[in-house]
């Protein structure tokens, strides 16, 4: 089973609210992939408010066949929302503080899930409070048998050097974009090196480093190889945005690592999924089966 650990929310887009949160997006798309190719149940671990948006979120996930039994309900804090302004198809985020997922709490049920999951996707933004940071670190450090994918998501001021270091140490895979790589290299004292990715792989003993490069696609780095995904492009639908494209990439990487696919197959699928989501509205559009067979539409 694949676990999305952290923020669950609604993206407030100009066209209306859409399901969101990086680990939630990744799990929704991983679930769709699992449905298409068989196996790997998907579970969201988060915390929402006892409010209308929270009920809508539970209902939407359930309608997609995703296990919501590990989503905690907070009696006081609201379900999270993110205001998104689009510049063309590129999003600008305004992320609200003091929401339910900031209070994600560790318990015996999460400990049991951590010990039996196949993969977990988590980020840095959801660790902006001490409580959520502690819970996420306990989960990931308990899930030693699992693929552990850290998706940075450096947003606003919701990260620190300490959160970066503890998150890197717990990960088997790290994923980030080129802008985030520049920031991380500077914060971790790698700013003067021309090749920060090999340094990060070595320093944190990573199995894989995933670099997303926008329209150039995904690059998978290991200690001794770099694999570039085959280019993919899809016609834009009305109101298309690129929200969630990187999370779709995460879904492909999670499946590829669990199933021990060749890295080229994983990179190619990551590109197709990311490009398709970027051509549609919202972070979690329905994935057509043709994505598994074709790179273009």
Record the tokens describing residue 70, joined without a space: 């590990």
Q: State the pTM of this model.
A: 0.91
14's CB contacts (< 8 A; 6+ apart) are 84, 85, 86, 239
Is 86:47 a contact under the CB 8 Å cutoff? no
Contact at 8 Å (CB) between 245 and 29? no
Angle between helices 178-187 and 161-170 (to 10 degrees): 110
CATH class of the domain whose range is 2-292: alpha beta
Of 110, 127, 24, 23, the C-alpha closest to 72 is 110
What's the confidence (pLDDT) of residue 148?
A: 98
Judge contact between 217 and 209, C-beta under 8 A.
Answer: no
User: According to the model, what pLDDT value does residue 297 have?
Assistant: 38
At residue 31, the pLDDT reads: 94
Residue 265: how many other CB atoms lie within 10 Å: 14
Output phi, psi for 205, to 5 deg.
Answer: 50, 50
Q: What pLDDT is recorded for position 15?
A: 75
CB-based contact 13:271 (threshold 8 Å): no
Task: Give the residue carrying structure tokens 């499946």.
Answer: 255
Three-class DSSP category at 241: coil
Tokens of 202: 């070595």
| CA separation for the pair 263, 56 (Å, rounded) | 37
Contact residues for 2 (Cβ-Cβ < 8 A; gap 6+): 27, 30, 31, 34, 40, 41, 42, 43, 117, 118, 119, 120, 121, 254, 255, 258
Per-residue pLDDT of the chain (297 residues; tens, 9 = 90+): 999 999 999 888 777 788 889 999 999 999 999 988 887 789 999 999 999 999 999 999 999 999 999 999 999 999 998 887 877 777 777 888 899 999 999 999 999 999 999 999 999 999 999 999 999 999 999 999 999 999 998 876 777 889 999 999 999 999 999 999 999 998 888 866 678 999 999 999 999 999 999 888 999 999 999 999 998 889 898 888 888 899 999 999 999 999 999 999 999 999 999 999 999 988 888 888 888 865 443
pLDDT, residue 88, reads 74
Q: Which of 232, 230, 241 is nearest to 82 (CA)?
A: 241
The enclosing H or E element of 60 equals helix 52-63
Q: pLDDT value at position 296?
A: 41
Task: Report the chain's terminal Cα–Cα distance, integer Å.
Answer: 30
Task: Report yes or no: 283 and 64 within 8 Å, Cβ to Cβ.
Answer: no
Contact 255, 212 (CB under 8 A): no
Residue 150 has φ and ψ, to the nearest 5°, of -95, 115
And the tokens for 54? 């929270």
Domain spans of the chain? Answer: 2-292
């Amino acid at each position: 089973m694949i676990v999305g650990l952290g923020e669950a929310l609604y993206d407030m887009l100009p066209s209306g609210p859409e399901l969101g949160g990086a680990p939630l997006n990744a799990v929704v798309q991983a679930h769709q992939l699992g449905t298409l190719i068989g196996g790997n149940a998907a579970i969201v671990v988060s915390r929402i408010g006892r409010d209308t948006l929270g009920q809508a979120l539970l209902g939407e996930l359930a309608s997609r066949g995703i296990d919501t039994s590990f989503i905690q309900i907070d009696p006081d804090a609201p379900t999270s929302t993110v205001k998104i302004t689009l510049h063309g198809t590129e999003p600008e985020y305004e992320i609200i503080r003091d929401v339910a997922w900031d209070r994600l709490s560790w318990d015996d049920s999460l400990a049991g899930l951590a010990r039996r999951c196949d993969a977990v996707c988590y980020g840095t933004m959801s660790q902006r409070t001490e409580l959520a940071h502690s819970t996420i670190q306990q989960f990931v450090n308990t899930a030693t048998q699992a693929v552990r994918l850290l998706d940075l998501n450096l947003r606003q001021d919701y990260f620190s050097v300490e959160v970066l270091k503890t998150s890197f140490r717990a990960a088997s895979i790290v994923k980030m974009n080129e802008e985030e790589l520049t920031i991380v290299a500077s914060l971790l004292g790698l700013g003067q090196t021309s090749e920060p990715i090999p340094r990060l792989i070595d320093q944190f003993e990573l199995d894989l480093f995933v670099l997303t490069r926008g329209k150039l696609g995904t690059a998978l780095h290991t200690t001794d190889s770099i694999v570039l995904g085959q280019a993919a492009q899809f016609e834009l639908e009305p109101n298309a945005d690129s929200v969630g494209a990187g999370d779709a990439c995460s879904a492909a990487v999670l499946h590829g690592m669990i199933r021990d696919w060749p890295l080229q197959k994983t990179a190619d699928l990551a590109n197709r999924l990311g490009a398709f989501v970027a051509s549609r509205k919202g972070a979690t559009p329905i994935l057509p089966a043709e994505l598994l067979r074709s790179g273009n539409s």
